[in-house]
A and B are shown apart, each in its own frame.
Chain A
């Protein structure tokens, strides 16, 4: 099962990437307001 030496770190890397993305989102205030985005996306006409 030495293949796990490849797959597991890769899956973890992917996980870390998403943790990073999440962290980035937090830092940029992406999740400060979880109410208005859903209304705003409706404003676009088509």
Chain B
């Protein structure tokens, strides 16, 4: 491969980049950002006061929350990285995108997927796996569009007119490859109907796959592409080379090899085998060092230019975003320590953590990019710089308010939940006592989000004005034409020098060290994961063998599907950890056997309400009916939404046989009889429960209503497992 020509004679090459597609992705980024933020504020208000859902099932927290996360990650984040990747790749590779058709297929395909999500999620059509809620037809669409993106990116790289592949592009490649693999593996499910399916994995296995995916979605959707953007836009915006290119390369390769193993840190102190937890912790802590190397590299690029940062909103956003990256990647390993995790997990501390990342790192990098790109793409100047400045400060203060309020809420609530008095009893036995204390902070958090949103609105106004004011062609770009001539000369000299030194450099120093390290990392990873696996497979089956687990009846299963539909798992966990506080409050720690037939697992990740793993039998049926009808009739200070429609809607048993046969196929021990009689049995059980409710003094006519199924399911929790 010739190394020199592409550099010196850049003018020779076709410079007609496809900026139209970049503009479209950029506009989509801006629009979806607004949707994601509004949904976030709305969800936050719903937690502060359930009445914000207006009593409409489509708007309850359990259905809005997945919409919010999907909009933030895949609509705002996704469109943002596509805009940035398509813009920067063309320039870094000095060639137009591979195929315009693929680009447009990618764009419209992605928007249609978002639209499909916006329709299905409020309808409760969900897989019940966080950040992986979309049902199987949409999964397939995502995979296809993603592959179109990948082909477009890789082929553009292949046809590059610049020999060197700049580090940002490596980050983009890793994004494509890793997400493709993770997404497909976590999507392996058996359809029941068009918008209903069960994952092939169950219980602890599903948990592991899900968080292997979930963690790496953060790593390879919200981190690597953004690092690529950072390594491109910071040097460009400040017009100075990255502090250390060598360090950026090390940053890339070390992240790529470590990140993939850190997933189990989402399941600490759970029924996941101890060694797998430890493995997750080790790799999470290891991540800290390269991450900070990257942050320092990004910030050091700005050394000697801090005066510019003070006056340039683009640099302000990019620099502060990078600082938030540093904060999140410090907090992450900290949260992976088991003792810290005991406090933080299931609490609002985690919510603070993800919003530091999402609002601070992802949001600010994208806003910086918007301010950088809009004037350049429309060949004009930014309409109003001080408005952008105000946006920055509103955003920053908003994030700080958000994070601090959620840190406080999380730590305070966990402390209360785990508080034990001298006699060994819980100081706050009623869960709701701890909820009441943090509700004011939910309002404060909403305020933080609102400020961030107002800042965003200023950006929208600024962008619209900038575009409207853009003349057809303007001298603005001419100003930038005078690239630094001294720099140009320097570079040429450098290039010549490195060429003359020739290939023997490969054999020594840095690259060799990197190869050895990379191979070592993989080998060590293999050993740590494989050896205990081989030994524990037997131990594990012995553990299962020690229990007799009843599969759910058809009515209970129908109830479980309603539980998933309503997103109860977004406020309730079903996993009693091995910690003192958990065991005192909820009973004996959950066994892996408890969820061995759960497709998907329902361990949850946040306890806005109490754990439900052993709630079966705790209350009579009528209690649950009244509680679901209006939680405040029973627990006056509850913030749980009302679910009155469950008493009105007829239970849909249309696919229950199919659901049973799919589960049977997946290894749940149902007999052919069970499958054949699933609908009939469900009806019988529903009538029995309804009659019983009337006897207890409850409402008439609940037979074959959804509520009977959900109550049957709730009463099964913790009752299915028996020690042999």
Where the two chains meet, the residues of A that have a C-beta atom closer than 8 Å to any C-beta of B are: 1-8, 10-12, 14-19, 21-23, 25-46
CB pair A35–B260 under 8 Å, yes or no, is: no
Query: B201, B276, B511 — which one has the most chain A CB atoms within 10 A of its CB?
Result: B511
| Residue B1 lies at the interface, judged by CB distance under 8 Å to chain A | yes
CB–CB B536/A29 < 8 A: no
Q: 29 A-B contacts, Cβ less than 8 Å apart?
A: A1-B537, A3-B208, A5-B533, A7-B208, A8-B529, A10-B181, A11-B260, A14-B178, A21-B170, A21-B173, A22-B515, A29-B506, A32-B511, A35-B494, A35-B498, A36-B164, A36-B491, A36-B498, A37-B164, A38-B235, A39-B490, A40-B162, A41-B92, A42-B239, A42-B241, A43-B10, A43-B491, A44-B10, A46-B477
A46 in complex: contacting residue of B7, B91, B256, B487, CB < 8 Å? B91
* Docked CA distance A18–B517 (Å): 13
B245 located at the interface, meaning its Cβ lies under 8 Å from any Cβ of chain A in the complex: yes
> Given A2-B537, A36-B495, A39-B241, are A7 and B209 neighbors across the interface (CB < 8 Å)?
yes
Instruction: Assess whether B205 is interfacial by the CB under 8 Å rule.
Output: yes
Q: How far is the CB of A8 from chain B (nearest CB, A)?
A: 5
* Chain A residue at minimal CB-CB distance from B540: A1
Assess the B498–A19 pair: CB atoms within 8 A.
no
* Known pairs A32-B505, A46-B477; A11 contacts B518 (CB<8 A): no
How many Å lie between the Cα of A8 and that of B503 in the bound state?
36
Asked if B397 is at the interface of the complex by the 8 Å CB criterion, the answer is: no
Are B525 and A38 in contact (CB-based, < 8 A)?
no
Which residue of the partner chain, among B170, B178, B204, B494, contacts A39 with CB atoms under 8 Å?
B494
Whether B246 contacts A16 by the Cβ 8 Å rule is: no
- A5 and B514 CA atoms in complex are apart in Å by 28
Q: Is the CB of B257 within 8 A of A18?
A: yes
The one of B164, B481, B491 that contacts A30, using a Cβ cutoff of 8 Å:
B164
Chain B residues in 8 Å Cβ range of A41 = 91-92, 166, 232, 235-236, 241
Closest to A22 in B: B518
In the complex, A46 Cα to B241 Cα: how many Å? 15
Contact of A3 among B201, B239, B240, B521 (CB under 8 A): B201
Bound-state Cα–Cα, A41 to B540, Å: 53
We find that the number of chain B residues with CB closer than 8 angstroms to chain A is 77
Query: With A25-B165, A34-B246 in contact, do A40 and B7 touch (Cβ < 8 Å)?
Result: yes
Question: CB within 8 Å of A: which of B406-423?
Answer: none
Nearest B-chain residue to A41, judged by Cβ? B166
Interface 1/0s, chain B 506-539, versus A by CB < 8 A? 1000110011001101100110011001001100
Q: Which residues of B contact A31 (CB under 8 A)?
A: 249, 506, 510-511, 514
Cα-based distance from A1 to B267 in the complex (angstroms): 14
Contact with A along B319-345 (1 / 0, CB 8 A): 000000000000000000000000000
How far apart are B352's CB and chain A's nearest CB, in angstroms?
A: 29
- In the complex, the answer to whether B209 meets A3 with C-beta atoms within 8 Å is yes
Task: Name the one of B178, B242, B491, B518 contacting A19, with C-beta atoms under 8 angstroms.
Answer: B518
Known contacts A1-B273, A4-B208, A38-B245; 14 additional CB pairs below 8 A are: A1-B205, A1-B536, A3-B208, A7-B185, A7-B208, A15-B522, A22-B515, A29-B1, A31-B249, A34-B510, A36-B495, A38-B235, A39-B487, A40-B164
**What residue of chain A has the Cβ atom nearest to residue B484's Cβ?**
A42
Docked complex Cα distance between A15 and B506 (Å): 22
Q: In the complex, which residues of chain A have a beta carbon less than 8 angstroms from the beta carbon of B10?
A: 43-44
Contact residues in B for A34 (Cβ distance below 8 Å)? 245-246, 249, 510
Contacts A22-B514, A38-B245, A42-B239; A14 near B503 (Cβ below 8 A):
no
CA of A18 to CA of B171, assembled, Å:
11
| Min C-beta distance of A42 to chain B, whole Å | 6
Tell me the smallest distance from the CB of A39 to a CB of chain B, in Å: 4
Q: Given the complex of chains A and B, what is the CA–CA distance between A5 and B495 in angstroms?
A: 47
Chain B residues, Cβ within 8 Å of A45 = 477, 480-481, 483
Q: How far does the Cβ of A4 sit from chain B's closest Cβ, in whole Å?
A: 5
Q: Which residues of B contact A40 (CB under 8 A)?
A: 7, 162, 164, 491, 495
Describe A's contact surface by its main secondary structure.
helix
Residues of B within 8 A of A12 (CB): 522, 525-526
State the main secondary structure of chain B at its contact with A: helix
- B212 on the A face (CB < 8 A): yes
**Chain B, range 109-136, C-beta contacts under 8 Å to A:** none
| Residues of the A chain whose Cβ atoms lie less than 8 Å from the Cβ of B481 | 45
Contact indicator B235/A29 (Cβ below 8 Å)? no
Give every chain A residue within 8 A of B246 (Cβ-Cβ).
34
Ordered nearest first, which 7 A-B pairs have the shortest CB separation? A33-B498, A3-B205, A38-B241, A39-B491, A36-B494, A38-B245, A15-B522
| CA of A21 to CA of B172, assembled, Å | 13
Across the interface, do A26 and B515 meet the contact criterion of CB distance under 8 Å?
yes
Q: Does B190 contact A (CB under 8 A)?
A: no
Is B3 part of the contact surface with A, judged by Cβ < 8 Å?
yes
For the complex, is B226 an interface residue (Cβ under 8 Å from A)?
A: no
Q: Is B174 among interface residues, defined by CB-CB distance under 8 A?
A: yes
- Closest Cβ of chain A to B560, distance in Å, is 21
Which residues of chain A are near B525, meaning CB under 8 Å? 11-12, 15
B488 interface residue, CB < 8 Å from A?
yes
Contacts of B530 in A (CB 8 A): 8
Q: Which of B215-268 contact A (CB under 8 A)?
A: 232, 235-236, 239-242, 245-246, 249, 253, 256-257, 260-261
Q: Are B91 and A44 in contact (CB under 8 A)?
A: yes
Q: Is B94 an interface residue (CB 8 A)?
A: yes
Nearest B-chain residue to A24, judged by Cβ? B165
Least distance between B297 CB and chain A CB atoms (Å): 11
* Most A-side CB within 10 Å, residue of B164, B204, B239: B164
- B493's closest neighbor in chain A, by CB? A36
Most buried by B among A4, A22, A41: A41
Asked if B177 lies at the interface with its beta carbon under 8 angstroms from chain A, I say yes
Report the bound CA distance from A11 to B1 in whole Å: 32
When the two chains form their complex, are residues B236 and A42 in contact, meaning their CB atoms are under 8 A apart?
Answer: yes
B3's contact among A1, A3, A29, A42, by CB below 8 Å, is which? A29
Query: Is residue B425 contacting chain A, with contact meaning CB distance below 8 A?
Result: no
B260, A14: Cβ atoms closer than 8 Å: yes
* B257:A37 contact, CB within 8 angstroms: no
A18 adjacent to B515 (CB under 8 Å): no
Complex CA–CA separation, A14 to B177 (angstroms): 8
Q: Which residues of B contact A14 (CB under 8 A)?
A: 177-178, 181, 260
CA A19 – CA B522 in complex, angstroms?
A: 9
B482 closest partner in A (C-beta):
A45
Complex CA gap A16/B698 in Å reads: 62
Which residues in B have their C-beta under 8 angstroms from that of A1? 204-205, 208, 273, 276, 533, 536-537, 540
Complex CA gap A3/B163 in Å reads 42
